[in-house]
Structure 1
Amino acid sequence: MKYKNIVFDYGNVIAKFDGLAILRSFCESQEDADLLRDIVYRQWPDLDRGTLEYDDYLQSTLELTPPRLQDTVRTFFHDWPKEVTHLSNTLAFIKELNERQIPIYLLSNAPTYFADYMADSELLKSFNGVIFSGPIKMAKPDLDIYEYFFKHFNLNPEECFFIDDLPQNIEGAKNAGMDGIVFTGNIAEVKKQIEF
């Protein structure tokens, strides 16, 4: 294989993350989901970056929410991680990498709330190292999170390959010295790139 370590993003690589679809699962109608989308997700990148406290964000979101939908928002903030569905083709690939004893890592933007929710998951126990952005108050595609990642796990960037669904995050990885691919759901293309 061309690389020693494979690095995964989480959302839309390991698991599907469609913000509107997740929100829809908590709403009685598409209209309500459409109404809440801009309210609920308006500062989500700040949650990912860890610069906004989750409970504070919930309170400010409730202040912007019509009273009839405030219970819906509370439930969403509590339960949304349960609605993230895993991608079977990626899980199978992770299993293959584990079987071949190829080190795998996770580097993902996500709120601290999600990091805490995932802390004891069996899936993440199969990774050699996990970094979520919220707890460390850094986020992709900024250079500092990649440098932190390499230093924290004592990795050589040139020996790592990154799989992320966003072009700017792959660009950030390449700026930090790590090759990668913009993931579109095609595991066969990933295997081709890494010569698996």
Structure 2
Amino acid sequence: MIKNIVFDLGNVLVDFDPLRFVREKTADEKQQKLLMSEIFGSVDWLRFDKGTMTKQELLSSVKTRLPEELHAIAEELLATWYNGLHPLPQMKDLPLQLKEKGFGVYLLSNAPQDYYLYEEKVPNHNSFDGIFISSDWKLSKPEHEIFQTFYSHFRLNPAECYFIDDMAANILAAEETGMNGFHFKKNFSSLKEELTRFGL
């Protein structure tokens, strides 16, 4: 029996679109491609998400790979990227609706320490029973250890949890640790239909 719904954050509850962030800083397509690959598409960004690299370390590393004329834009992007996060309208009220139906509601997200600068953007974030951010634990999805630590920390039975994430690899990892889930591709109606099975 499903008792808890576990949400990812980016592209599940909020719109995470790095290319949009970059396009707001430069109209040059070559520059856009470089900034995307060397910041948001880099291994360093994954380290930043995991909490094993600080923002200053990330910036220093990125600057070694970018031409000097892009250094100021890179600095601005890293200082402001989260201002471009917006709640997905169709998902905005779902956590609270689930909570009111008696489900436990949790957040399990790969997110850097910047999360604490933008948490107010997370729909109904105060209604969550637990928030688990990768950079707090130096772990990241799809590692099995982050799921196992999440269950242990909140004393949850994975068989009683249902996970909503936009990355197929994360859904697979969740299933491998005992938690079923839904691969969310902004297919709101399919998700709602799926949740009706649990009494939403």
| Identity between Structure 1 and Structure 2 (%) | 32
Partner of 2:96: 95
CA distance in 2 between counterparts of 1:100 and 1:181 reads: 19
Offset at 1:193? 2.3
What's the CA shift for 1:10? 0.5
Closer, same or farther: CA 189–14 of 1 in aligned 2, 3 Å = same
Give the TM-score normalised by structure 2. Answer: 0.89
Alpha-carbon distance in 1 for matches of 2:28, 2:142: 35
Paired residue for 2:173?
172
2:14 corresponds in structure 1 to 15
Alignment of 1:64-143 (within 5 A): 64-113=65-114, 115-119=115-119, 123-143=124-144
Q: TM-score, normalised by structure 1?
A: 0.91
How far is 1:190 from its partner? 2.0
Deviation at 1:192, TM superposition (A): 2.6
Q: Describe the shift of the 1:36–1:121 C-alpha distance in structure 2 as closer, same or farther (beyond 3 A).
A: closer
1:56 aligned residue: 57
Q: 2:85–2:121: 8 Å Cα contact kept in structure 1?
A: no
Indicate the residue corresponding to 1:33 in structure 2.
32
Q: How many residues align?
A: 194
The alignment's C-alpha RMSD in Å is 1.7
* 1:95 Cα deviation after fit: 3.0
Residues 109 and 139 in structure 1, CA contact (< 8 A), matched pair in contact too: yes
Whole-angstrom distance in 2 between the partners of 1:117 and 1:124: 13
Q: What is the distance in 2 between the residues matched to 1:45 and 1:144?
A: 16
